[in-house]
Chain A
Amino acid sequence: MIKTPQELIAARDSVREHFFNGWTRIRVGMATCGLAGGAGKLFEAIREQNEKNNYGFFVAETGCNGACFLEPLVDVVLPGQGRITYANMKPSDIENLLLLTFGGRVYTKKAVARATSEHLLSDDTEIPYLQGVIQPDVQKVPPYSEAPFFKNQVRIALRNCGIIDPTSLDEYIAFGGYAGAAKALTQLQPEDVIDEIKRSGLRGRGGGGFPTGRKWEACRKANGAARFVICNADEGDPGAYMDRSIIEGDPHSIIEGMIIGAYAIGARIGYVYVREEYPLAVKRMRLAVQQAEAAGLLGENIFGSGFDFRIRISRGAGAFVCGEETGLIASIEGNAGTPRQRPPYPAQSGLWGMPTNINNVETWNNVPVIITRGAGWFSSIGTPSSKGTKVFSLVGKAKRVGLVEVPMGTSLREVVEQIGGGIQDGGEFKALQTGGPSGGCIPAAHLDCPVDYETLTSLGSMMGSGGMIVMDSRTCMVEMARYFLAFLKEESCGKCVPCREGTLRMLETLSAICEGRGRPEHLDLLKELSEAMADGSLCALGGSAPNPVRSTLHFFEEEYRAHIEERRCPARVCKALIEYQVVRESCTGCGACARVCPVKAAFGKKKAPHEINNGLCTRCGLCADACKFKAIKVA
């Protein structure tokens, strides 16, 4: 039990000593992404061989450090040498890795980065790993500060992810955890906490970017018999997984943020709303809540302050629209997750009609360090209007993909080129899609813009929850808009006309254009429909659903026109508008195309140039993949 701030410090110091004391520790990245990459098998193999050979290593799991392109990841703390990160590990690597580790050496083949100390963000201390003479093979491993992908990042939200064991409350505490809650509850008045958050400039990370401190203040001042706080971990954006990663890798940071927020607002009950599709996140969150309760960090009289707070976990129904705050509240109440018109805002009338404060996972996770390090520190990072950092899930055609955290104001170019490493396979950059399915596309001409709420909005896109998809010249912008509209049409709750009927008709129109049935008047129709949906929809799902269309029409109108006026898809993606053709000069008549074609559209005599019957061809592209002589081209 931790009943006072002094006990917290005592617990912290004792675990810290243990953590940095020179044991050989092996950690496997076991978040959902790592598990998908085969981390479960690795973990078992390491445990087995550790036992069989009596190595005596301390083996545990950790969360995701963001470098998903390097999964599965294994971290080894080598006494005297520091922490070494190994990437793309296979079970066949384990034997050598353990053997070398046992001999105090590095498995150079797969080592990608090393840390000689850890910076504990919460109390700004740098703790070195036990230092010895650094071995030459260790020296060859680039330090984190020089490793590509990592060196341009600043980690606040992901401070503990991939480093601590998310199933260990002790390790969270060792890294400075719960110090923010201790300080807030025992040294600050609720108004002071709100003031600190206001001065920090923290804005919501769930999409809207509303100033967090102002939202807390509105909720605190609203009349109501009870108040609630909610953590929105619905994360329905396809391809985005920053919230999942934070919960899986650092669940206590959310609990701590919520304790501080609840204290400031005057809530005694909090809900974490996690989507059903995140079983591991639910499990980690549940365990963390139990641990915090057992330690007295949740429950009655926390830190002897007289403040009581409990957290319940509510499982989402798996609909995108349940992430919208009024839909989410309806869902926790046990009703269909259908949004309702705001105002009244949840701060006035939320869960069961009571003042309710709802924040995103990443927002809550930022709160503890703002309290320990102060608003001044936090607001020194970022731009005048957007403070701190933001986690993005960088996916698509970049060389390095994963979760990246950068200060607000970092240029998009730096994210794509320095961190992402540019385009795969020597391709050419075309656009960066940000903000999730209802975000927009930013073309190369605007890549030097800084990431912050206002800039992204002014470019017709948005911050959203932090999705970033890198697109290259092989992406068709019309098809891309169609893809997102198909998603949004499925996810519309169907309550209001502009969204329910509008997403359907918008999708139909885009499909017509992609399928070669586009007409010149479709462009005006899309623009008119966009405007009415944006203005007329009941909630922001419908309100922002036209964004993919609006932004591609704005920056890539000529591509729409090519589809409509010339029946041509410049990116050669839209099946109805392309043809596979044989380049007669290159064709050797090997017959590979004819063998793979499932509809027998490719044909020809042996050793003579083959042909493709475009009436039969379904544009599956198998022949082009099968041709060793690059004799099949798309026209």
Chain B
Amino acid sequence: MQFSLNGRNIAAEPGETVLSVARKNGVFIPTLCHHDAVSPSGACRLCVVQVSSGERSRIVSSCLYAPSENDRVETDTERVRKVRRMVLELLLARCPTVELIRDLARAYGIQRSRFTDGAGPSEERCVLCGLCVRVCDEVVGRHAISHAKRGIQRKITTAFDTQADECIGCGACVRICPTGALHYEDLPEQKQPERVMVELHTRVPLVRCSDCGRAFASPALFEHVSKSVNVPPTTLAACPACRSKSFAATAAQNPPSAPAFARAHARTYQSQLLASINEESS
């Protein structure tokens, strides 16, 4: 499959998106609602590109669009920049305090939004990219959070805005959030230590590390991880720091077989995610 990307002829796998091909070929396209760990959604429209086939040319989101044979794709035309600039100006009006949005806007020459005159400062941080919902659904598999309401009232929340029993307090949503709209707070000193998912109306009990005694994860998370990577919950009773210490000690004495080692070291979803997020941003 051949198409042209900014005038260069490029081969792509059928079904591969413009964004993915562009990244492989060192062409930068800004994104906000895209993350390799989850399926694309097309919500932010920052990644738009211009596609021409024959006489017609149109704007599509590159995170979703798989080019057809002989498409001419351009990633930085004036028409494309106009859409991106407006998207950023609109987001800046919504989330004026979010550093990421301010940086992106500045990169497109926008210092302030023309839409906010007279309005009080907005503390809104969520851009509704939906990454948190998708990571909880697709990666963690818990469906603890979702979009509620329509239009400008759309928001991220739990069912009926109350305690989500599906939530295991893994924090994947907090980590994937590009704007710092979600937080959790641990209360390790309580008699029953808890993790509070601040914006999500949810509290999850924490257990203490079997070695150092630090409250570090929920029983539900243990169960979830132990089931999905098939290791006994007891292996997980120690916090990651203590666990790697003890693994190192055991391994030094008695090197385990490769598969057993891999299984024992099976990364939690959190660390998988963290790794992928770090790769992205570096």
- List residues of A whose CB falls within 8 A of some B CB: 319, 321, 336, 338, 340-341, 343, 489-498, 500-505, 508-509, 521, 525, 528-529, 531-533, 535-538
Contact = CB atoms under 8 A, between A and B. Distances in A.
A431 B87 CA distance: 33
B152 A501 contact: yes
Given A528-B82, A535-B82, A494 B115 contact: no
A338 B82 CA distance: 25
B279 to A, nearest CB: 26
A445 to B, nearest CB: 30
B86 A498 contact: yes
Interface in B84-111: 85-87, 90-91, 93-94
Given A528-B86, A532-B82, A493 B150 contact: yes
A529 B93 CA distance: 13
5 contacts: A490-B150, A492-B152, A498-B86, A535-B48, A538-B45
B61 A341 contact: yes
Contacts of B151: 489-494, 500, 503-504
B150 A505 contact: no
B59 A536 contact: yes
Given A502-B90, A509-B115, 8 more contacts: A341-B65, A496-B45, A497-B45, A500-B154, A505-B93, A532-B85, A533-B86, A536-B86
B51 to A, nearest CB: 11
Most B-side CB within 10 Å, residue of A321, A531, A532, A533: A532
B201 interface: no
Contacts of A319: 150
A489 B152 contact: yes
B43 interface: yes
Given A491-B150, A531-B82, A536-B83, A497 B42 contact: no
A525 B46 CA distance: 19
A501 B90 contact: yes
A122 to B, nearest CB: 39
Contacts of B60: 341
Kindly list the 9 A-B residue pairs having the minimum CB-CB distance in the complex, ordered from nearest. A494-B154, A532-B86, A501-B90, A536-B83, A492-B151, A341-B42, A535-B59, A505-B115, A494-B151
Contact of A538 (B43, B82, B86, B128): B43
B87 to A, nearest CB: 5
A385 to B, nearest CB: 17
A504 B152 contact: yes
A532 B87 contact: yes
Contact of A497 (B66, B90, B115, B149): B90
Given A493-B151, A505-B93, A538-B45, A498 B87 contact: yes
Main secondary structure of the interface of A (DSSP, over half): helix
A562 B114 CA distance: 22
Contacts of A525: 114
A535 B48 CA distance: 9
Nearest to B40: A341
Interface of B: 41-46, 48, 59-61, 64-66, 79, 82-83, 85-87, 90-91, 93-94, 114-115, 127-128, 130, 147, 149-154
B42 to A, nearest CB: 4
Contacts of A490: 150-151
Contacts of B65: 341, 343
Contacts of B87: 497-498, 532, 536
A538 B190 CA distance: 47
Contacts of A321: 150
Nearest to B59: A535
A535 B45 CA distance: 10
A531 B67 CA distance: 24
A341 B90 contact: no
B17 to A, nearest CB: 11
Contacts of B150: 319, 321, 490-494
Contacts of B149: 494
Nearest to A337: B150
A425 B231 CA distance: 82
B82, B87, B153, most chain A CB atoms within 10 A? B87
Nearest to A336: B147
A498 B83 contact: yes
Contacts of A341: 42, 60-61, 64-65
A420 B149 CA distance: 40
A501 B45 CA distance: 12
> Which of A489, A501, A504, A529 has the largest number of chain B CB atoms within 10 A?
A501
Given A505-B115, A532-B86, A538-B61, A497 B44 contact: yes
B65 to A, nearest CB: 7
A20 to B, nearest CB: 51
B123 to A, nearest CB: 16
A336 B133 CA distance: 14
Contacts of B43: 495-497, 538
B181 to A, nearest CB: 15
B34 to A, nearest CB: 13
Contacts of A489: 151-152
A434 to B, nearest CB: 24
B70 to A, nearest CB: 16
Instruction: From B60, B114, B152, name the one whose CB has the most chain A CB atoms within 10 angstroms.
Output: B152
B243 to A, nearest CB: 39
B79 A535 contact: yes
Contacts of B41: 495
Given A341-B61, A532-B83, A536-B83, A498 B147 contact: no
Given A492-B150, A496-B44, A501 B91 contact: yes
A531 B82 CA distance: 8
Nearest to B127: A497
Given A489-B151, A494-B152, A496-B42, A535 B83 contact: yes
A537 B115 contact: no
Contacts of A336: 147
A610 B218 CA distance: 76
A151 to B, nearest CB: 42
Nearest to B42: A341
Nearest to A338: B147
Contacts of B48: 535-536
Given A535-B59, A537-B45, A498 B90 contact: yes
Contacts of B83: 498, 532, 535-536
A319 B153 CA distance: 15
A340 B93 CA distance: 25
Nearest to B115: A505
B248 to A, nearest CB: 47
Contacts of A500: 128, 151-152, 154
A217 to B, nearest CB: 18
Contacts of B115: 505, 508-509
Select the residue from A319, A494, A504, A521 with max chain B CB neighbours within 10 A: A494
B134 to A, nearest CB: 12
A536 B128 contact: no
A303 B161 CA distance: 54
A510 to B, nearest CB: 13
Nearest to A538: B42
A537 B59 CA distance: 9
Contacts of A508: 115
B256 to A, nearest CB: 43
A498 B82 CA distance: 12
Nearest to A319: B150
A531 B85 CA distance: 12
Contacts of B82: 528, 531-532, 535
A494 B153 contact: yes
A340 B45 contact: no
Contact of A501 (B59, B64, B85, B93): B93
Contacts of B42: 340-341, 495-496, 538
A480 B90 CA distance: 24
Given A501-B93, A505-B93, A494 B45 contact: no
